Structure 1
Amino acid sequence: MGHISADVGGQDVGQDVRQDIGHTADGEVPGDTGRRRPRLTSGLTVRAKAVLAAAGTVAFAIGLCMLALVLALQHNLRASADLDARNAAVAIKGQLAQTRPAPQRALIVAPGAVTIKDVSGRTVTPTMPTETGSQQTEATPQDAAGSTMLPAKPLEPVQAGQRYSVKVSPSTTAVDNATGLLLRQAAPAAAGLVLFVAGLTWLLVGRALRPVAAMRQEFTEITERDLHRRVPVPRARDEIHRLARTMNATLDRLHRAMTRQRQFVADASHELRSPIAAVRAQLELVLARPSRTDWPAAVHKALRDTDRLQAVASDLLLLARLDAQEAPRTAAVDLGALAEEEVRRHPGALTLAGEQERAAVVTGSRVQLSRLLTNLADNARRHTRTTVSITVAVRGGRVELAVDDDGSGIPEADRERVFERFTRLDDARARQDGGTGLGLAIANDIAHAHGGTLTVLTSPRGGARLLLCLPRTDVAQP
């Protein structure tokens, strides 16, 4: 520890303090309660993790506060002890320098040990003038009250004007006692506060996670047979509320997809059953009357039904690929050139209206876009009275392909339903013409897969207009 020095007979009082800051008297390091424990995340529930996080945070904060409080208290008490030692050194200096008679026994109040040296550095005891002559007194040990007794003994007298160095060590008793008392009193309160926060967090998190347990229980009971069930949505509009709404929205999509799949399987079974039943009936009839059967006509009928089976199977396979979102090979495709090829395959039934755009280029699968155009043209040819016209135009950053007929058109109430699978507005006519009810559904899926849209409008020719819009691709002009 440090000490305070005062020069007797001189003008200045010096101070020499050596301190060991940061350690208490009993060797403890303040703030031990704020040490972080290793995080144990594996196997712990969210509730336990929240409790550990809250308790650890509070303990760390309390440890920092206690450390700051101990350091501030030690600093203030040491400063006060240094000041007391300085004042005591000055007082002793004054008593040694006096020339008037002094009592036989002097009482000097000092906070710590007193050391007196002369100018040569030799430790001496002060001499106190008395009535019978000059006497020198020897310093005795410090008493319990912090006072130093100087008993009188006959020694050599103190010379007037002689310089003496008086050193008084600051007392560390107050610092040690205050630090120990603070730690002993604050530690139980800090532990109690941490336990209180842990218990409160356990209760609050458990109450907050109660809806999650109900959602989990309900969700585990949902199977593919009862996708209509939904998880309970809590009233509080918090993260759990949004999670429940997201889960219900996902269940809605799954329910719609499952319903659509079941309906698709039922419709596909119905579509395949009809031509299979027709072929079976024809074969049974032929076998029943082999001698009276027109074999060429029977074979032609069977071939027509087989073609219908093949068309349905091909459409179902293409729809399955579109539903799986298989990425086809893409390249720059000129819709104007595709329209010209389609017209050349059906001369007289299809015509190109107006002057075709030369830069109507899109990015996509040429095979799928060709199938889209073929489905639109076939659908229009089945319902038109005369011919079908195809128009290709560029509108800003989009390419538009319109297929127009002069038939009866499509009512506005059915313009969304025509894109559903196995939908026929004129069922008898569609079956007679060989339609599967999948053409427009396939065309709509291909349009969406290429980032475009397919809509039904009223044609200027009086019938229906199927308008395809696709993003245009910039190509370098030669």
Structure 2
Amino acid sequence: MAPEDEPADAAPRRPRRPTSGLSVRAKAVLAAAGTVAFAIALCMLALVLALQHNLRASADLDAQKAAVAIKGQLGRTQTMPKRAFIVAPGEVTIKDASGRTVTPVAPTDPSAAKPTWHSTPPAELAEPPGAGQPYSVKVSPSTTSLDSATGLLLRQAAPAAAGLVLFVAGLTWLLVGRALRPVAAMRQEFTEITERALHRRVPVPPARDEIHRLARTMNATLDRLHRAMTRQRQFVADASHELRSPIAAVRAQLELVLARPSRTDWPTAVHKALRDTDRLQAVASDLLLLARLDAQEAPPTAAVDLGALAAEEVRRHPGALTMDGDQEGVAVVTGSRVQLSRLLTNLADNARRHTRTTVSVGVAVEGGTVELAVDDDGPGIPEADRERVFERFTRLDDARARHDGGTGLGLAIANDIAHAHGGTLTALTSPRGGARLLLRLPRAG
């Protein structure tokens, strides 16, 4: 039965690794020591096997020489001796021509390098055979030197191997600790960075290694976060300032109406309150759209005919907007029709507020790019302000004023929509003498 605090269909948890709670320093020490220990073990195994192979081959060669010598000695003997002392490295087995074994006796001098065997022939050989009797001799190789050499090697190499592993572990501990010292400094500094101290940065080590790149990446991230927080605070301050004016105006009007209800021109008061309420609604709608654009919410996308969209905008404002050329069906981009329509409306409204006569809208296709230009013959935008004009709540002294009906968010929204669709929005000088706002979007393939 599943525990009460876990769903019955919950995926089984993976068992924790034994090293999951260790620090990077400890893991590096374990990895280095384990690697060295494994390498030493393999080398020791190879050395022992090679030593055993060589000693075993040498013992076999000694046994073979001893067997040849014994066989030659017996072949030169006229009769089989009653007792014989045989010098051999190991146990000796002698057989006569009929296959009967001359059983050897234990060596008389076990401590000798080559044991001396005391051999007595069996009873059937009481009558020794004649001279030249063939014998087969088998001498077992001795394993004494093999065992002694292997034991000596292991007894002497084991302490040296253990010392080497400890040395590598200690050296790794020191080197990894020194290498991670900048990480500790970065961590200490990073823990002290709060929303009130976003100007602080982690120290960048001088070495051009991974930690150096990590520190630079962290500082770059902090730079972006600092800019975003500064932009958000400025945005909140500007939004509060923008909302304060219409709210204060509505409040003043309502207080005045309540103070003099009998002498109030109610239609005029309601009209003013409604106008300020419309302004509040416009600012709130723009702020909501900007919040969605900042969150990078992906809207439904489809093929959008930018030429047809511009023609619809011109038809909604007859006399105030004119269309240059006809690119319907050709200037097709991929994106959100609602957002692109809002972008075009913002550009047209901005141009209409500052033009002297009419605003022209032109759409063109340049290779794989669709260009939409909105031109006016107004005072234009100074070159020094052509980047700042796309910031939120920005009004130029001679071209942006609160009494003209703008919220200071139209071009900022248009710029964000252009970037969200993979395009750009730039302010230039119009051939008509005023401002040109040029939108470039990738053409739909």
TM-score above 0.5:
yes
Closer, same or farther: CA 101–115 of 1 in aligned 2, 3 Å? closer
Find the aligned partners of 2:119 and 2:140 in 1 and give their Cα distance.
21
- Alignment check: 8 A CA contact 1:139 1:148 kept: no
- The equivalences for 1:90-129 within 5 A come to 90-99=68-77, 107-124=85-102
- The equivalences for 1:395-406 within 5 A come to 395-406=366-377
**What residue in structure 2 maps to residue 321 of structure 1?**
292
Find the aligned partners of 1:142 and 1:77 in 2 and give their Cα distance.
25
- Alignment check: 8 A CA contact 2:86 2:119 kept: no
Find the aligned partners of 1:141 and 1:437 in 2 and give their Cα distance.
113
- Alignment check: 8 A CA contact 1:455 1:466 kept: yes
- Alignment check: 8 A CA contact 1:393 1:401 kept: yes
302-311 or 139-148, which moves further after superposition? 139-148
Tell me the CA shift for residue 283 of structure 1.
2.8
SS of residue in 1 equivalent to 2:257: helix
Q: Deviations over 1:14-50 (max 9, x none)?
A: xxxxxxxxxxxxxxxxxxxxxxxx9721211111111
TM-score w.r.t. length of structure 2: 0.90
Amino acid in structure 2 at the alignment position of 1:92: I
Amino acid in structure 1 at the alignment position of 2:358: T
Find the aligned partners of 2:441 and 2:398 in 1 and give their Cα distance.
31
The list of structure 1 runs, each at least 4 consecutive aligned residues, that deviate by more than 6 angstroms after superposition, is: 100-105, 151-154
Find the aligned partners of 1:229 and 1:139 in 2 and give their Cα distance.
92
Amino acid in structure 2 at the alignment position of 1:89: A
1:264 aligned onto 2:235: yes
Q: Deviations over 1:114-156 (max 9, x none)?
A: 111012211137xxxxxxxxxxxx8663523224255799943
Amino acid in structure 1 at the alignment position of 2:412: A
SS of residue in 1 equivalent to 2:224: helix
Find the aligned partners of 1:149 and 1:219 in 2 and give their Cα distance.
83
Tell me the CA shift for residue 429 of structure 1.
4.9
Find the aligned partners of 1:427 and 1:318 in 2 and give their Cα distance.
27
**What residue in structure 2 maps to residue 64 of structure 1?**
42
Tell me the CA shift for residue 84 of structure 1.
0.4
Closer, same or farther: CA 340–121 of 1 in aligned 2, 3 Å? same
Q: 2:442 aligns with which of 471, 474, 477?
A: 471
**What residue in structure 2 maps to residue 50 of structure 1?**
28
- The equivalences for 1:300-379 within 5 A come to 300-379=271-350
Amino acid in structure 1 at the alignment position of 2:23: T
Residues matched between the structures, number: 425
Find the aligned partners of 1:183 and 1:99 in 2 and give their Cα distance.
46
- The equivalences for 1:156-195 within 5 A come to 156-195=127-166
Tell me the CA shift for residue 106 of structure 1.
5.6
Tell me the CA shift for residue 427 of structure 1.
6.4
Find the aligned partners of 2:179 and 2:120 in 1 and give their Cα distance.
81
Q: Percent identity?
A: 87
- Alignment check: 8 A CA contact 2:78 2:130 kept: no
Tell me the CA shift for residue 263 of structure 1.
0.4
Find the aligned partners of 1:396 and 1:142 in 2 and give their Cα distance.
107
Tell me the CA shift for residue 326 of structure 1.
1.4
TM-score w.r.t. length of structure 1: 0.84
Closer, same or farther: CA 280–39 of 1 in aligned 2, 3 Å? closer
- Alignment check: 8 A CA contact 2:88 2:117 kept: no
Closer, same or farther: CA 289–88 of 1 in aligned 2, 3 Å? same
Q: Any stretches of 5+ residues in structure 2 without a counterpart?
A: 1-15
Closer, same or farther: CA 246–429 of 1 in aligned 2, 3 Å? closer
Closer, same or farther: CA 140–304 of 1 in aligned 2, 3 Å? closer
Q: Deviations over 1:213-258 (max 9, x none)?
A: 2221221122111111111222222212211111111111111111
Find the aligned partners of 1:220 and 1:201 in 2 and give their Cα distance.
27
Find the aligned partners of 1:325 and 1:241 in 2 and give their Cα distance.
31
Tell me the CA shift for residue 357 of structure 1.
4.2
Tell me the CA shift for residue 464 of structure 1.
1.2
- Alignment check: 8 A CA contact 1:74 1:179 kept: yes
Amino acid in structure 1 at the alignment position of 2:93: T
SS of residue in 2 equivalent to 1:175: helix
Q: 2:226 aligns with which of 239, 255, 267?
A: 255
**What residue in structure 1 maps to residue 257 of structure 2?**
286
SS of residue in 2 equivalent to 1:279: helix
1:77 aligned onto 2:58: no
Q: 2:423 aligns with which of 419, 430, 452?
A: 452
SS of residue in 2 equivalent to 1:108: strand
Q: 1:198 aligns with which of 169, 177, 187?
A: 169
- Alignment check: 8 A CA contact 2:307 2:331 kept: yes
Q: Deviations over 1:162-187 (max 9, x none)?
A: 22110100000010000000000000
Aligned Cα RMSD in Å?
A: 2.3
**What residue in structure 2 maps to residue 148 of structure 1?**
116
Amino acid in structure 1 at the alignment position of 2:277: T
Q: Deviations over 1:174-203 (max 9, x none)?
A: 100000000000001101111111111111
Find the aligned partners of 1:140 and 1:428 in 2 and give their Cα distance.
122
Find the aligned partners of 2:335 and 2:105 in 1 and give their Cα distance.
107
Amino acid in structure 1 at the alignment position of 2:301: T
Amino acid in structure 2 at the alignment position of 1:346: H
1:393 aligned onto 2:364: yes
**What residue in structure 2 maps to residue 27 of structure 1?**
none
Find the aligned partners of 1:259 and 1:151 in 2 and give their Cα distance.
105
Q: Deviations over 1:303-346 (max 9, x none)?
A: 22111111111101111111111121211111111101100110
